[in-house]
Structures are given as structure tokens and as C-alpha cells.
Homo-oligomer: A and B are copies of this chain.
């Protein structure tokens, strides 16, 4: 497609990077390259036609790429750009997929070359698995995508990134400040992972015989990439602690209604939950 007549490099062929590659490939970019430290991942991606060519060393692809898509952990996103920005083509657009945005934006904007345009992004997509073997282009289908543009970004570059995001199948693109992103994501993403972990950490032998869907769903994401999530939580510490505190208050409200044998109060709290969940799903359907 003429529209995507660019050279694109994906950095990191994990679950997100490889899924991004698969979805991007369908848009027929001029060249789709990847950089990874794992030769096996590169070979797999080449063999399966996810990318045109993969590299262990970033110099060659970066020199020729109009767009660079970072698909690695937050701190590595910062380090990689810092270490390799001198290879990058003049005027290249860089975007990322890290799950926290304020630190990533602040640090990268503190050192990045003036001609490079770094646009922060975060796809609301993932699976409770890691690695190229679980990549699927469908993870972006109808997904939400957050962009955190700043006034340093060029309008036409933001529009191009948005076109790519829509092109890989995402439904809603929401633009917020990096700070706002981190506040909300602590609730919608980091808190559910913490809850799932805390719930399953309290489990005992043979509990599996007493479970139905509610327990299974509530603990699904406890099977997480522990290293990644520990980094995400640590780098979004204040917001995460705040959201845990708010959640604890809501749990306490329910607990107190039970302790006080206040069934009306308990039903009211559940009614509120029910209504909020229904409204949430309705909005998701739009």
C-alpha cells in the first residue's frame, strides 16, 4: 500500500513486538526490519515472514528507518534510544509501547536529538504469555491505544502513527499527557495484576475443585511476565500505591457491611458495582 511506503524497524521481538510485526506486515511497508538480541527470535520471525530481515546489531536498520517502534521494557526503551540514537536517520519518528509513560518521556526528551520525533504510545493489548511464540496480530483487533504526544511532536508525525495504529486494527486512540496515562493505567492495568497475584497467593491445595469461572478469571493474569510487571510497578510507584489504597478502601466498605450485618448496605455496594460494570461494558462495545 502506497500509504505505508516507509522503512520500519521494530526493536524487540517479544510478544508485543512480534505481534506488531505481524499486523504491520499486512500494511505492506517498504521494508519491515527488526532488532533483537536473540538470534533464534530473529530467525523465527524471518522464517514465518513476520519481518523482511532481522538484525542483532541496530546500526544498519536504524540508519535506513523512517519509523522505529520500540517494543521492549520501559528502562530498556530509554537505554536503547540513548545508546543508539546516533545511528538514527535524520527526521526519523520513534514510538514506543512501554506500559509507563512519564519517566520514559521525561528521560528521552532530556537527551534526544532535536531532529528525531519521539511519540509515546501504549497499546492496551497483551496476553498472559511472553515471547514470539505467542505473538498474534489479532491482539490489536479492536484494542484501545494510548498516545501521549507532547508539543515537541510534529502534527503530521502524530497523524502517521495514528494511521499505523488504526491500520493494525485498533479501535480507539486516546491522547493524554504522560502523567495522566500513568495515573489511569495504575488503576486499569497495574491494580488488576496486583489483585490477581494477591488472590492466588492465598490459595491452598485442592482449591481447584471448588472453583468455577469467577476464580479462574480473577487470577488469569497472575501468570504474568514477573520481571516486566515488577519494573512497571516500581516505575509507577506513587500511582500504584495510591490505587491500592483506594481499592483497599472499597474492600473495607464491603467488609464493614458484612461485619455490621448490614445487608441493605452490602446490596447497595453490589448494585453500584453491577451498574458500573454494565456501563463499562456498554462503553467498551461502542
Chain A residues proximal to chain B, CB less than 8 Å: 124-127, 143-144, 146, 172, 174, 181, 184-185, 187-189, 191-204, 206-224, 226-227, 229-231, 233-234, 237, 240-241, 243-244, 246-251, 253-255, 258-259, 261, 263, 266-267, 269-274, 276-278, 280-281, 283-284
Residues on the B chain within 8 Å of A254, using CB: 194, 197-198, 244
Complex CA distance for A263 and B241, rounded to whole angstroms: 14
Candidate in A172, A226, A272 with the most chain B CB atoms within 10 angstroms: A226
Residues on the B chain within 8 Å of A187, using CB: 202-204, 207, 210
Candidate in A198, A234, A253, A266 with the most chain B CB atoms within 10 angstroms: A198
16 A-B pairs besides A187-B204, A230-B263 with CB distance below 8 A are: A144-B211, A144-B212, A174-B210, A184-B210, A187-B207, A188-B214, A189-B212, A195-B199, A197-B269, A197-B272, A198-B251, A211-B280, A220-B277, A223-B277, A227-B267, A248-B248
Q: Is the CB of A211 within 8 A of B284?
A: yes
With A202-B250, A258-B233, A259-B241: A211-B188 Cβ-Cβ less than 8 Å? yes
Q: List 5 A-B contacts (CB under 8 A).
A: A146-B210, A184-B210, A220-B277, A222-B276, A244-B255
With A126-B213, A198-B247, A217-B220: A280-B144 Cβ-Cβ less than 8 Å? no
Residues on the B chain within 8 Å of A273, using CB: 196-198, 200-201, 222, 224
Q: Is the CB of B270 within 8 A of A258?
A: no
Complex CA distance for A201 and B261, rounded to whole angstroms: 20
Residues on the B chain within 8 Å of A146, using CB: 209-210
Q: Is the CB of B207 within 8 A of A214?
A: no
Q: Is the CB of B261 within 8 A of A234?
A: yes
Complex CA distance for A215 and B271, rounded to whole angstroms: 19
Complex CA distance for A159 and B118, rounded to whole angstroms: 68
Residues on the B chain within 8 Å of A197, using CB: 250, 254, 269-270, 272-273
Complex CA distance for A273 and B214, rounded to whole angstroms: 17
Residues on the B chain within 8 Å of A208, using CB: 144, 280, 283-284
Q: Is the CB of B203 within 8 A of A280?
A: yes
Q: Is the CB of A258 within 8 A of B234?
A: yes
**Residue among B253, B261, B280 making CB contact with A219, cutoff 8 Å:** B280
Residues on the B chain within 8 Å of A250, using CB: 197-199, 201-202
With A276-B203, A284-B211: A230-B270 Cβ-Cβ less than 8 Å? yes
Task: Sort A-B residue pairs by CB-CB distance and give the 8 closest, nearest first.
Answer: A197-B273, A198-B250, A226-B270, A222-B277, A124-B212, A192-B214, A192-B218, A208-B283
Complex CA distance for A79 and B68, rounded to whole angstroms: 68
